Structure 1
Amino acid sequence: MTSTLRALIELTKPRIVMLVVITVVAGFLVAPAPEGALAVTLLHAAIGTALVAAGTNALNQVAERDVDAIMRRTQARPLPTGRLDVRQAQVFAWTAGIAGVTYLAVFVNTLTAVLAAATLVSYVFVYTPLKRRTTLATVVGAVPGALPVLGGWAATGAGLGREAWILFGIVFLWQLPHFLALAWLYRDDYRRAGLRMLSVEDSNGRKTFSQAAVYAAALLPVSLAPALGGAVGLPYFLGALALSLWLVWASMRALRWVSDRNAARLFGASVTYLPVLLVLMVLDRLA
């Protein structure tokens, strides 16, 4: 593998692309699939979404190359280190993003393509610049973060009804304690780069972890809603209840005893939460 190819792959943030694809697969599998929703459609949805996610992440790195050069966590990325030039990155990013949206429109359906395009536009042109201007950027950024699960649902041909929006709400709310904990751990980096994260303006951590606790508490009833509505059964309900109470507890502990250690524990709980919850939901629907 050439150094340029390795740098282009790194530019896409492969782990984030994988998480996005996982949410698409979950959305597809839990949707009440109409007749004709085949496995090949899921494959096409995953491929198209991966391309759009790769392009979105690459465009984000193009836009934030000055910030990445300042932050210790991101100084080794391809653009700050000069392993790629900006023109290469832009061409690659737009090619991947446009190819992904086109692929979804041709091989899946128009709604899935529109949702993917909305994800790219809102992440790159709304969330990314807002990070320099307001602490509300984290909330805004949770919207494009949650849209892919709707894309997976829409790929089946099912309409975006109440159950789909509950799934969106779960992914939306989950992101907030997750990223608030991460922002606290890297608050010095964000301060150095001039980004308007809540943790940068919160010297004692009370605002940061109060919000994390509020969003974790809000996630509890939303995560249980699929079971309460009869869409999934008791195994999911019990698992979702345990996971959500764990996240609330981790958030409250971080609020009561503010420390990097408790922030890291909250972040770890959030990393476990979403994939396990989605697996429980998928297994329940497939049972």
Structure 2
Amino acid sequence: MSTATTSSTETNAAERSHSLLGDYSVLFKPRVSAMVLLTAAGGFYLGCLRTGISPFSMLLLHTMLGVAIVTCGSGALNQALERATDRMMPRTAARPMAQHRIGLAHGLILGFLLTFGGAAYLALYTNLLSGTLTLLTAVAYVTIYTPLKRITSLNTFIGAFPGALPPLIGWTAARGVIEWPGIALFAILFVWQFPHFMAIGWLYRADYKLAGIRVAATQDPIEDAARGTVAQALFYAVLMIPVALWPTFLHITGWPYAIAAFALSIYYLVATIRFASITKNPNDPENRKVARQLLRVSVIYLPLLLMAMALNAQGHLLLR
């Protein structure tokens, strides 16, 4: 074989390898995985303050690695189930399983191995409770939430349960038990999701409608869709205020956090009130702007809230 041929073969192999790695990156939903890891790390950090374990110990590495593996696995299984609907929506049509760049068997085997392997890793290197909770999260996301997306708009509420479990998983990885502070973290993430998802639903309403995905925003007529979407977003944005303050009353944090949480939650509510303007003229293309603004605020809100919580954590007062 000539040098030129060898070089060409190696280049093609490298391109295929790069393409597969790129497809895996999409398959594993890196943005979703990053948010899962952030919230799990927050729960772990707060739980460690009570145990005396360093938040930056090997246990953190094991927790983050196990959660990341399971999250990647559930992302692959989700896309295996949704490959047909993904092809119908412009924003997901290029996904690797939708385009058959990754076959169904390939995606399923990879997804199952990562999901169950990651849960087993967590059970072995953290504790059985954390491994079990993580596996239940993945199973609920893939086998309950994902199929329900084409059946009922209640999928948003049901899907919020597995979506809110990562900080509780982080807490149990550090503490080994489910406790009220961990439940408070679960509640924060549970409530936060609704204005966030209502904004996404309205922003991609046309895509979801095309694919037959049932969310509040895809109801008919569009006036009912706007009212239903706004009602849910406003209800949970208001509820976010007391829920965000709950950690202070459980002595997880001090009053500086409470002030920051209140201010951030009011900011989240104001963005949601702006979003409510979609009910005036639901067909107005400008509504996408206020939906996108709410989405941006939601993505900023959660990391800032967790940062405030971490900076003002009162580990010595936990559970007293």
C-alpha separation in 1, matches of 2:213 and 2:250: 41
Partner of 1:211: 232
C-alpha separation in 2, matches of 1:16 and 1:229: 29
Partner of 1:283: 311
Partner of 1:2: 18
Q: Does 1:238 align with 2:262?
A: no
**What's the % identity of the aligned pairs?**
39
Count of aligned residue pairs for this structure pair: 287
Partner of 2:100: 82
Q: Does 1:221 align with 2:242?
A: yes
> Structure 1, residues 33-75: CA drift from partner, whole Å, max 9, x if none?
3244661101100000000000011100000000000011100
* 3-state SS of 2:142 partner: helix
Partner of 1:120: 138
Deviation at 1:201, TM superposition (A): 0.2
* 3-state SS of 1:123 partner: helix
C-alpha separation in 2, matches of 1:229 and 1:109: 25
* 3-state SS of 1:2 partner: helix
C-alpha separation in 1, matches of 2:117 and 2:278: 47
Counterparts in 2 of 1:88-103, with a 5 A limit? 88-103=106-121
Deviation at 1:286, TM superposition (A): 7.0
Partner of 1:58: 76
Partner of 1:249: 270
> Structure 1, residues 158-182: CA drift from partner, whole Å, max 9, x if none?
4221111111000000011101110
Under a length normalisation based on structure 2, what TM-score does the superposition of the two structures give? 0.86
> Structure 1, residues 112-140: CA drift from partner, whole Å, max 9, x if none?
00110011110000000110111110011
Partner of 1:33: 50
Q: 1:67 to 1:81 in 2, by over 3 A?
A: same
Whether the aligned pair in 2 keeps the contact of 1:181 and 1:263 (CA below 8 Å) is yes
156, 160, 168: which is aligned to 1:142? 160
Whether the aligned pair in 1 keeps the contact of 2:252 and 2:314 (CA below 8 Å) is no
Partner of 2:5: none
* 3-state SS of 1:179 partner: helix
C-alpha separation in 1, matches of 2:153 and 2:177: 34
95, 104, 109: which is aligned to 2:122? 104
Partner of 1:193: 211
Q: 1:36 to 1:230 in 2, by over 3 A?
A: closer
C-alpha separation in 1, matches of 2:53 and 2:182: 19
> Match for 1:50: what amino acid?
A
Q: 1:229 to 1:286 in 2, by over 3 A?
A: closer
Deviation at 1:6, TM superposition (A): 2.1
Deviation at 1:231, TM superposition (A): 2.1
C-alpha separation in 2, matches of 1:24 and 1:74: 27
Q: Does 1:266 align with 2:294?
A: yes
Under a length normalisation based on structure 1, what TM-score does the superposition of the two structures give? 0.96
| 29-38 or 240-249, larger mean C-alpha shift | 29-38
Please report the RMSD computed on the Cα atoms of aligned residues, expressed in angstroms. Answer: 1.5
| 200-209 or 92-101, larger mean C-alpha shift | 200-209
Whether the aligned pair in 2 keeps the contact of 1:173 and 1:215 (CA below 8 Å) is yes
C-alpha separation in 1, matches of 2:105 and 2:131: 26
> Match for 1:252: what amino acid?
I
* 3-state SS of 2:98 partner: helix
Whether the aligned pair in 1 keeps the contact of 2:130 and 2:176 (CA below 8 Å) is no
C-alpha separation in 1, matches of 2:174 and 2:23: 34
Partner of 2:8: none
> Match for 1:60: what amino acid?
N
> Structure 1, residues 54-103: CA drift from partner, whole Å, max 9, x if none?
00111000000000000111001001122211111111111111110011
> Match for 2:197: what amino acid?
F
Structure 1 unmatched runs, 5+:
none
Q: Does 1:131 align with 2:149?
A: yes
Partner of 1:43: 61
Structure 2 unmatched runs, 5+:
1-16, 280-286, 316-320
